[in-house]
Amino acid sequence: MITSLISPKYQIVIPKEIRRKFNVTPGQRVSLIEKDGYLELRPILKPEQLMGLLADCAHIPFEREPDRSLP
């Protein structure tokens, strides 16, 4: 388990191994999410970092709904 300390100014240092694993950089924004009594810290990704994110979903069939034009 990796731990970190919250400073008197409520700041936290993200340990080096976590920064490297998730490619977190200085100045990058993160979102804090409360979920089932836990706090999640998630990096906010830039559009170029999202390229290929859904590549594993290409096998999911997709059907368009019929056109419902107004008469």
Q: Is the alpha carbon torsion for 13, 19, 21, 24 positive or negative? A: positive
Helix (H, G, I), strand (E, B) or coil at 45: coil
pLDDT at 47: 77
Model pLDDT for residues 18-42, shown as the tens digit of each residue = 989 988 889 888 999 999 999 998 8
Q: Taking the domains of the chain in order of start, what are their residue ranges?
A: 28-52
Q: Taking all residues of the chain, what is their mean pLDDT, rounded to a whole number?
A: 85
pLDDT at 70: 66
Cα–Cα nearest to 18, from 42, 36, 49: 42
